[in-house]
């Protein structure tokens, strides 16, 4: 059983020492997949310093050279891997970036090539801002050959581009709901990789304010009983002493279980389409 950790929102606005403070005693045990915003927009948000809330431009990651240097070193050391988290993470009148931007395909291409150049690494995972994707956004991710690491994925065929595996995956989800006694309205994180023609998908359990050790252990044990894998998704800027304690206690629980391997998130997709 593989266990992975995803952290969202690293960007120009991130202080390298903040990542160090949160993960210094984590990433040597469990590599952290940092979902990085390539050209972060300034807007009112807890993850962004107030002085940037009214900014009228996006801020490329490389304008924070100390962060870039730290990320490159962490990648080299195997402590982190890099995923793409949108392009600017801005909102639009019709929805979030990868629901409503008029140039979704270009944003995906631009962000991927930018992160690969600036951080000298291969990008294989896409994390949509706010975990929100339109049908067009999902099609763009598939065409780019990126794997999707989400948290609240919709499995309805009507919300998805159609390919030869869509119906079979829908049936897998339906059977799992029935096996676990869930109806359509019940929250569910499917614990197996879903493979489509050009990409694969996996869902994560949130580590957010209010999450308890029991919440994570319950999801982990369900995934283990199903013969699946487990991923946690969080935000470094939300991780206080309470959430850090939850994470460490969960890691201790998982590490004590035979057959569990802490892995970089990319390894969840081993065997997925390249």
Determine the pLDDT at residue 272.
56
Domains and CATH numbers, the chain: 2-269 (3.20.20.370)
Determine the pLDDT at residue 184.
80
Mean pLDDT of the region 93-103: 95
Mean pLDDT of the region 56-60: 94
Determine the pLDDT at residue 217.
98
- Write out the chain in H/E/C secondary structure: CEEEEEEEEECCCCCHHHHHHHHCCCCCCCCEEEEECCEEECCCCCCCCHHHCCCCCEEEHHHCHHHHHHHHHHHHCCCEEEEECCCCCCEECCEEHHHHCCCHHHHHHHHHHHHHHHHCCCCCEECCHHHCCCHHHHHHHHHHCCEEEECCCCCCHHHCCCCCCHHHHHHHHHHHHHHCCCCCCCCCCCCCCEECCCCEEEECEECCCCCCHHHHHHHHHHHHHCCCCEEEEEEHHHCCHHHHHHHHHHHHHHHCCCCCEECCHHHHHCCCCC
72/163: higher pLDDT: 72
pLDDT category at 108 given cuts 50, 70, 90 is: very high
* Tens-digit pLDDT profile for residues 168-188: 999 999 999 999 999 888 889
pLDDT at 94 over 80: yes
Q: Say what the pTM is.
A: 0.94
């Amino acid at each position: 059983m593989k266990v992975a950790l995803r952290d969202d929102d690293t960007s120009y606005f991130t202080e390298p020492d903040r990542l160090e403070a949160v993960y210094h005693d984590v990433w040597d045990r469990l590599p952290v997949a940092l979902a990085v915003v390539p050209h972060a927009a300034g807007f009112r948000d807890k993850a962004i310093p107030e002085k940037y809330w009214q900014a009228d431009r996006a801020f490329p990651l490389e304008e924070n050279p100390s962060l870039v240097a730290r990320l490159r070193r962490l990648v080299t050391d195997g402590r982190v891997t890099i995923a793409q988290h949108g392009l600017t993470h801005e909102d639009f009148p019709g929805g979030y970036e990868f629901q409503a931007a008029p140039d979704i395909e270009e944003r995906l291409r631009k962000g991927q090539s930018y992160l690969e150049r600036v951080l000298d690494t291969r990008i294989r995972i896409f994390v949509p801002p706010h975990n929100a994707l339109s049908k067009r956004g999902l099609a763009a991710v598939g065409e780019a050959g990126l794997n999707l690491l989400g948290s609240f994925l919709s499995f309805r065929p009507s919300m998805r581009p159609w390919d030869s595996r869509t119906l079979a995956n829908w049936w897998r989800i339906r059977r799992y709901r029935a096996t676990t006694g869930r109806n359509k309205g019940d929250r569910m994180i499917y614990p197996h990789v879903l493979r489509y023609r050009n990409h694969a998908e996996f869902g994560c359990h949130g580590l957010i304010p209010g999450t308890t050790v029991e919440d994570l252990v319950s999801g982990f044990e369900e995934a283990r009983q199903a013969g699946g894998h487990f991923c946690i998704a969080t935000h470094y800027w939300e991780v206080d002493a309470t959430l850090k304690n939850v994470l460490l206690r969960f890691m201790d629980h998982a590490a004590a279980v035979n057959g569990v391997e802490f892995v970089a998130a990319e390894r969840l997709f081993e065997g997925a389409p390249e």
